[in-house]
Amino acid sequence: MSAFSEIDFHQQSIFIVDDEPANLKLLGKILTFAGYTNLTLISDPHQVISAYHKHHPALILLDLNMPGVDGYQVMNQLGNLGDPLLPPIVILTAQHQQDYLLRALEAGARDFISKPFDRRELLMRVHNLLSAHVAHLLLQNQKAHLEILVEERTKELRESRLEIIQRLGHAAEWRDEETGNHIIRMSKVCALLASKAGWSEEQCDLILQASPMHDIGKIGIPDAILLKPGKLDPQEWQTMKTHAEIGGRLLEGNSNELFVMAREIALNHHEKWDGSGYPDGLRGEGIPFSGRIAALADVFDALTSARPYKKAWPVEDAVELIRENRGAHFDPELVDLFLADVASFVRIMDVYQD
């Protein structure tokens, strides 16, 4: 049995608004005798809005000719509430001129009931309009419920995707004994820098998810080079630098925006503003912005993290190096944003310590 078929329309809230006590009494009796149990009789049209907030009617029977506030003004007040699904309004009228009825329809009326009232006509119109309104309410509630389910599922998929990406990033880092939370810190610094640079929330979330794969290309570097405890010779260093190109190749061929940005970062996070970086020696704004963000984030975390071959730098020294490399290694704009709020970036390092 459907939810709609289980609804008792006789329990739906109905407003009757008329300044004539005799009309209120008559309509109330007709609807009560027909089994409707949730009636609100309003003789003062000034009270409609306050009663609306309290009872949330499913149908309003409204007289037009009332002193002080007429039916047109009441409909205007109801329209100004911004309710996405106002109840149907049925005009109670003894007028039959076309202009009069068209004005009421333009103001928001859905139907008319002529005075004097025909009981059967009244009950049929009430039942039909209540049915239509309740059906709309059910559809609206179903839509809202589905939107919540979709949002929850999307969040689950996003979190699962981020975890997979982070694990892929860890797979590359574990081979060269990088610190366990490096990719988490680095990706969060990327997202914070992007936010300060004016990126949208969606773009910041994208770089948060894409940046953990910045060193995925290290999977293709031989252990003898990747795990060498001492300084690399020139030939070994040239091999090590190929991890950026390897990462780019691993992530190419997919038009998904996540993989597009992940490839940009993997390929370009060792490029430098002055053109002295690798693999392509790109310069300035010729470096994708995501790569410029990742370059600063990666260096800041690498400097302030302990590695098997070095101690962690004091934050002050790391900040000074970044300041000195403004316009050389790093995008000047990003350095300025970083220096303006170093404490927020340090807070990320503190929260996600190894």
286-333, pLDDT tens digit by residue? Answer: 999 999 999 999 999 999 987 766 788 999 999 999 999 999 999 999
Report the C-alpha gap between 185 and 302 in whole angstroms: 10
Query: Is 64 in contact with 93 (CB distance < 8 Å)?
Result: yes
pLDDT > 90 in the chain, percent: 53
Amino acid at 351: V
For residue 170, being part of any structural domain is answered with no
Is residue 247 domain-shared with residue 187, that is, in the same domain?
A: yes
Q: Is the pLDDT of residue 78 over 50?
A: yes
For residue 157, being part of any structural domain is answered with no
Report the C-alpha gap between 41 and 30 in whole angstroms: 13
The confidence score (pLDDT) of residue 102 equals 84
Is residue 104 domain-shared with residue 36, that is, in the same domain?
A: yes
Number of domains in the chain: 2
Is residue 204 domain-shared with residue 56, that is, in the same domain?
A: no
Is residue 112 domain-shared with residue 205, that is, in the same domain?
A: no
In 3D space, the residue among 191, 252, 182, 257 whose CA is nearest the CA of residue 215 turns out to be: 182
The residue among 137 and 19 whose pLDDT is bigger is 19
Average pLDDT over residues 273-277: 97
The parent domain of residue 256 ranges over 176-351
| Best mean pLDDT range from 158-167, 175-184, 191-200, 305-314 | 191-200
Report the C-alpha gap between 48 and 53 in whole angstroms: 9
For residue 246, being part of any structural domain is answered with yes
Report the C-alpha gap between 280 and 269 in whole angstroms: 11
**What CATH number does residue 250 fall under?**
1.10.3210.10
Q: Provide the token pair at 184.
A: 């988490």
Q: Is the pLDDT of residue 54 over 60?
A: yes
Helix (H), strand (E) at residue 16: strand 14-17
Can you tell me which residue has the tokens 């998904």? Answer: 256
Report the C-alpha gap between 16 and 183 in whole angstroms: 65
Query: Is 54 in contact with 67 (CB distance < 8 Å)?
Result: no
Is residue 127 domain-shared with residue 191, that is, in the same domain?
A: no
Is residue 70 domain-shared with residue 208, that is, in the same domain?
A: no
- Give the tens place of pLDDT for each residue, 111-139: 888 788 788 988 998 988 888 888 887 78
Is residue 13 domain-shared with residue 127, that is, in the same domain?
A: yes
Query: Is 272 in contact with 329 (CB distance < 8 Å)?
Result: yes
Is residue 192 domain-shared with residue 297, that is, in the same domain?
A: yes
Can you tell me which residue has the tokens 């929330």? Answer: 201
For residue 162, being part of any structural domain is answered with no
DSSP output for 33-80: HTT---EEEES-GGGHHHHHHHH--SEEEEES--SSS-HHHHHHHHHT
Average pLDDT over residues 106-115: 83
Average pLDDT over residues 84-106: 82
Helix (H, G, I), strand (E, B) or coil at 112: strand
Query: Is 265 in contact with 169 (CB distance < 8 Å)?
Result: no
Mean pLDDT of the chain: 87
For residue 14, being part of any structural domain is answered with yes
| Best mean pLDDT range from 61-70, 247-256, 284-293 | 284-293
The confidence score (pLDDT) of residue 1 equals 44
Query: Is 277 in contact with 253 (CB distance < 8 Å)?
Result: no
pTM over 0.85: no
Query: Is 211 in contact with 265 (CB distance < 8 Å)?
Result: yes
Q: Are strands 89-93 and 59-63 parallel, antiparallel or unpaired?
A: parallel
> Which of 208-217, 273-282, 302-311, 317-326 is least confident?
302-311
Q: Provide the token pair at 122.
A: 């009244």
The confidence score (pLDDT) of residue 92 equals 85
Overall size of the chain counted in residues: 354
Average pLDDT over residues 10-30: 92
Question: What backbone phi and psi angles, to 5 degrees, belong to 171?
Answer: -60, -40
